[in-house]
Amino acid sequence: MINSYSQKRKKETNSFLQIFRILRGINVRVLVILLFLGFGYVFYIGASTSPIIVFVFSVCIVSFLLSIYLTKWVLSKDEGPPEMAQISEAIRDGAEGFFKTQYGTISKMALLLALVILSIYLFRNTTPQQESSGLGRATSACITVAAFLLGALCSGVAGYVGMWVSVRANVRVSSAARRSAREALQIAVRAGGFSALVVVGMAVIGIAILYATFYVWLGVDSPGSMKVTDLPLLLVGYGFGASFVALFAQLGGGIYTKAADVGADLVGKVEKGIPEDDPRNPAVIADLVGDNVGDCAARGADLFESIAAEIISAMILGGTMAQHCKIEGIFFVLSVFFWCGLIFDIYADPSGFILFPLVVHSFDLVVSSIGILSIRGTRDSNVKVPLEDPMTILQKGYSVTIILAVLTFFGSTRWLLYTEQAPSAWLNFSLCGLVGIITAYVFVWITKYYTDYKHEPVRTLALSSSTGHGTNIIAGVSLGLESTALPVLVISVSIISAFWLGHTSGLVDETGSPTGGLFGTAVATMGMLSTAAYILTMDMFGPIADNAGGIVEMSQQPESVREITDVLDAVGNTTKATTKGFAIGSAALASFLLFSAYMDEVSSFAREPFKQVDIAIPEVFIGGLLGSMLIFLFSAWACAAVGRTAQEVVKEVRRQFIERPGIMDYKEKPDYGRCVAIVASASLREMIKPGALAIVSPIVVGTSIALC
Distance CA 155, CA 149 (A): 10
pLDDT in tens, 592-612: 666 666 666 666 666 666 666
End-to-end CA distance of the chain: 65
Residue 468 inside a domain? The answer is no
Question: Is the model's pLDDT at 361 over the cut of 90?
Answer: yes
Claim to verify: residue 133 and residue 242 sit in the same structural domain: yes
Claim to verify: residue 29 and residue 134 sit in the same structural domain: no
User: What pLDDT is recorded for position 4?
Assistant: 41
pLDDT confidence band for 578 (50 / 70 / 90):
confident
User: What pLDDT is recorded for position 31?
Assistant: 60
Claim to verify: residue 39 and residue 111 sit in the same structural domain: no
Residue 12 inside a domain? The answer is no
Claim to verify: residue 639 and residue 535 sit in the same structural domain: yes
Claim to verify: residue 363 and residue 295 sit in the same structural domain: yes
Distance CA 267, CA 202 (A): 42
Among 455-469, 604-618, 623-637, the range scoring the smallest mean pLDDT is: 604-618
Residue 35 inside a domain? The answer is yes
Residue 467 inside a domain? The answer is no
- Name which of 75, 298, 184, 268 is nearest 547 in CA terms: 184
User: What pLDDT is recorded for position 371?
Assistant: 92
Question: Is the model's pLDDT at 551 over the cut of 80?
Answer: yes
User: What pLDDT is recorded for position 628?
Assistant: 77
pLDDT confidence band for 133 (50 / 70 / 90):
low
Count of Cβ atoms closer than 10 Å to residue 329 Cβ: 10
- Identity of the residue numbered 285: I
Of 92-106, 181-195, 221-235, 577-591, where does the model show the most confidence? 181-195
> In DSSP terms, which residues pair with 333 in a beta bridge?
347
Of 29-38, 334-343, 488-497, 589-598, where does the model show the most confidence? 488-497
Q: Label each residue of 389-433 as H, E or C.
A: CHHHHHHHHHHHHHHHHHHHHHHHHHHHCCCCCCCCHHHHHHHHH
User: What pLDDT is recorded for position 16?
Assistant: 42
Question: Is the model's pLDDT at 386 over the cut of 60?
Answer: no
Question: Is the model's pLDDT at 670 over the cut of 90?
Answer: no
- Name which of 589, 636, 625, 614 is nearest 701 in CA terms: 625
Among 23-32, 117-126, 516-525, 670-679, the range scoring the smallest mean pLDDT is: 23-32
Average pLDDT value for residue range 617-635: 77
Claim to verify: residue 198 and residue 338 sit in the same structural domain: yes
Element (H, E) at 306: helix 298-324
Element (H, E) at 335: strand 330-337
Secondary structure letter of residue 384 according to DSSP? -
Claim to verify: residue 44 and residue 115 sit in the same structural domain: no
CA dist list (Å): 187 to 181, 228, 284, 458, 601: 10, 44, 24, 28, 47
Average pLDDT value for residue range 138-160: 87
pTM here? 0.79
High-pLDDT (> 90) share of the chain, %: 9
Claim to verify: residue 149 and residue 39 sit in the same structural domain: no
pLDDT in tens, 253-267: 777 777 777 777 776
Claim to verify: residue 129 and residue 237 sit in the same structural domain: yes
User: What pLDDT is recorded for position 408?
Assistant: 93
Claim to verify: residue 40 and residue 125 sit in the same structural domain: no
User: What pLDDT is recorded for position 27?
Assistant: 59
User: What pLDDT is recorded for position 219?
Assistant: 80
Residue 321 inside a domain? The answer is yes
Question: Is the model's pLDDT at 518 over the cut of 70?
Answer: yes
Residue 671 inside a domain? The answer is yes
Overall number of domains in the chain: 2
CA dist list (Å): 436 to 140, 410, 527: 34, 13, 4
Average pLDDT value for residue range 217-229: 77
User: What pLDDT is recorded for position 534?
Assistant: 92
Distance CA 4, CA 1 (A): 9
Of 124-138, 261-275, 407-421, 511-525, where does the model show the most confidence? 407-421
Claim to verify: residue 39 and residue 142 sit in the same structural domain: no
Q: 205 versus 45: which is more confidently predicted?
A: 205
Claim to verify: residue 132 and residue 44 sit in the same structural domain: no
Element (H, E) at 129: helix 128-133
Q: Which domain holds residue 566?
A: 99-377+388-422+529-707
Residue 457 inside a domain? The answer is no
User: What pLDDT is recorded for position 62?
Assistant: 92
User: What pLDDT is recorded for position 5?
Assistant: 37
Residue 134 backbone zone (phi > 0: left; psi -120 to 50: alpha; other: beta): left
Question: Is the model's pLDDT at 15 over the cut of 80?
Answer: no
| Cβ atoms 119, 99 nearer than 8 A | no
- Identity of the residue numbered 6: S
CA dist list (Å): 433 to 163, 363, 413: 32, 13, 9
Residue 596 inside a domain? The answer is yes
Among 119-128, 259-268, 316-325, 593-602, the range scoring the smallest mean pLDDT is: 593-602
User: What pLDDT is recorded for position 483?
Assistant: 85
pLDDT in tens, 58-100: 999 999 989 989 988 998 888 888 888 888 888 888 888 877 8
Average pLDDT value for residue range 465-488: 82
Mean pLDDT for the chain overall = 79
Q: Name the H helices within 218-235.
A: none
